[in-house]
A and B are shown apart, each in its own frame.
Chain A
Amino acid sequence: MASIPAADMIPEVIAPSPSPMIYRTKLPVRIWHWINAFSIFVMLMSGMMIFNAHPHLYWGHFGANFDQPWLTIGNRGHAGYLWIAGLEVPTTGVLGYAMDTMRAFPPLVTLPGSYNLAGARQIHFAVAWMLGISGTAFFIYGIISGHLRRDLGLKREERSIAHLWHDIKEHAQLRFPKGEAARAYNPIQKIAYIGVIFVLIPVVILTGLTMSPTMDAAWPWLTEVFGGRQSARSIHFLCAAGFAGFIVIHLLMVVLAGPINEMRSMVTGWYRLPKENAK
């Protein structure tokens, strides 16, 4: 029942409360989190507007109206659909046709709301700088401060399949770590953050650069790595879907784990360790 106070805890904080507050999230991490929360939302929304200009995805170097896409979001009159490699799903009201608009992504989720490719590109490429610069700064901070290794690196005992499987089952049953175990990120959480920081963000930036004809000329390895500009565009879109999926699960976890405590820890850094055996 009683949690053992850590050596660095401030006595008056632990004394009256059975579930102590800990300073869990350092300022640079919080700043980066909120810059990302803003920039990734803006990138997704302006990106969906850009996608609306040509709602088809292809593999390879080229791909246009006469070529075979692997994904299309379209509409037949007032019926919207999503077509993926031969499989068609009706999506009226969500994709293809929604809000009385014949567009792949509806006005509610795009920036700007009205069709404006030039405006969306202006937003997308300006905020891309914000995402790239803050990401680079965070990366340097994360390495120098040891944050990446200490807080996101999987500990030896966390690297076994059995341990991860146990953690997945606990998550699926909405049983989250309590007490001292909640002091650090849990393994699935670490893997999700590692996926965003080391896979999604670098790949989305590199595939974004691959869509630039000037960058392709300067760095020809870009199209080599991704298998062509249209493949890069497809991967860019899949990364965006990955970000969207991450955000949904991330927000769901915040709500399930205690939104006030989680929000406070990401705003002020202070996090209340959840009580053990709480009923």
Chain B
Amino acid sequence: MTLITRRNALVGGAGLLLAGCDQIIASPTTQSLLKIGEDASYGAARAVTDRNALAREFTRAEMSPVFRANGTLNPGTAEYNAMVASNFADWQLRVDGMVAKPFTMGLAQLKAAPARTQITRHDCVEGWSAIGEWTGVPLGLLLRRANVSSNARYVVFHCADLYSGTPYYESVDMIDAFHPQSILAHHMNGQPLTVNHGAPLRLRVERQLGYKQAKYVMRIEAVASLDGIHGGKGGFWEDHSGYQWFAGI
């Protein structure tokens, strides 16, 4: 015999209400309406703000005592473990795609290249922030060296870490790619990048959220469209969980 208590009825009713709400949200009509909002946010960010505006830079005294490592903390694949074992001696960054002069570059060469150091705030999509110091090669420098095509619209970062078998990747538009603070960092807080923070090289795009800051970058590809790259939405979290491609908000 079933005893219907007021509490059960309340919880059951709430369950139906919730299921109804979630169904409305998941409907294609609602999703396309919400997409208008997403496009408006990206459009407005590019239209009404200075595209070259710099993210605030802090002093050493203002840094987080401990910078939280998040996402993949160690790719742990056989290939990656071998690279760690050899201290990334044979590691090579590849720059290709819609470029006139694709090239590869070792870690020592990258460290010898002109570098920018910046103490910036890292904002996770979850809501927390941490301030750290990053040193690396401006992405624009590498793209210019490869003579990137004027038809390229995005820069894709292919990474060494896997999420349940799927490679992590991210992408940015050309505005953020050529932004002076967009760097490929090989040092953090004055030390070579550690494994949990993305050794040997991670992206810093200072005007976007944490999931854009791709770690373990192996290859930089210039493309005209994000279609056909993995799930086609421009990044692992975008493909996998529907996170917004423009992570500036």
Across the interface, do B18 and A113 meet the contact criterion of CB distance under 8 Å? yes
CB distance from A81 to the nearest CB of B (A): 19
Contacting residues of chain A (255-271) with chain B, CB-CB under 8 angstroms: none
Across the interface, do A217 and B206 meet the contact criterion of CB distance under 8 Å? yes
Does any Cβ of A come within 8 Å of B25's Cβ?
A: yes
Residues of A within 8 A of B229 (CB): none
CB distance from A121 to the nearest CB of B (A): 6
A223 to B40 Cα, complex, angstroms: 23
Q: Report, as a range, how many residues of chain B touch the other chain.
A: 35 or more
Across the interface, do A54 and B128 meet the contact criterion of CB distance under 8 Å? yes
Residues of A within 8 A of B25 (CB): 111-112, 119, 123
Does any Cβ of A come within 8 Å of B28's Cβ?
A: no
A217 to B209 Cα, complex, angstroms: 13
Does any Cβ of B come within 8 Å of A187's Cβ?
A: no
Across the interface, do A217 and B21 meet the contact criterion of CB distance under 8 Å? no
A112 to B25 Cα, complex, angstroms: 7
Residues of B within 8 A of A214 (CB): 45, 49, 207-208, 248-249
A99 to B12 Cα, complex, angstroms: 11
A65 to B49 Cα, complex, angstroms: 32
Which residue from chain A places its CB closest to the CB of B242 in the assembled complex? A118
A118 to B245 Cα, complex, angstroms: 11
Does any Cβ of B come within 8 Å of A216's Cβ?
A: yes
A-B contact count (CB 8 A): 143
A139 to B35 Cα, complex, angstroms: 27
Across the interface, do A129 and B37 meet the contact criterion of CB distance under 8 Å? yes
A56 to B128 Cα, complex, angstroms: 8
Across the interface, do A64 and B128 meet the contact criterion of CB distance under 8 Å? yes
Interface centre among A64, A118, A121, A129 (most CB of B within 10 A): A64
**Chain A interface (Cβ within 8 Å of chain B)?**
50-51, 53-54, 56, 58, 61-67, 99, 107-108, 111-114, 117-119, 121-123, 125-129, 211-220, 223, 229-230, 233
**Chain B interface (Cβ within 8 Å of chain A)?**
11, 14, 17-19, 21-22, 25, 33-38, 40-41, 45, 48-50, 53-56, 58, 62, 64-66, 68, 121, 123-131, 206-209, 237, 241-244, 248-249
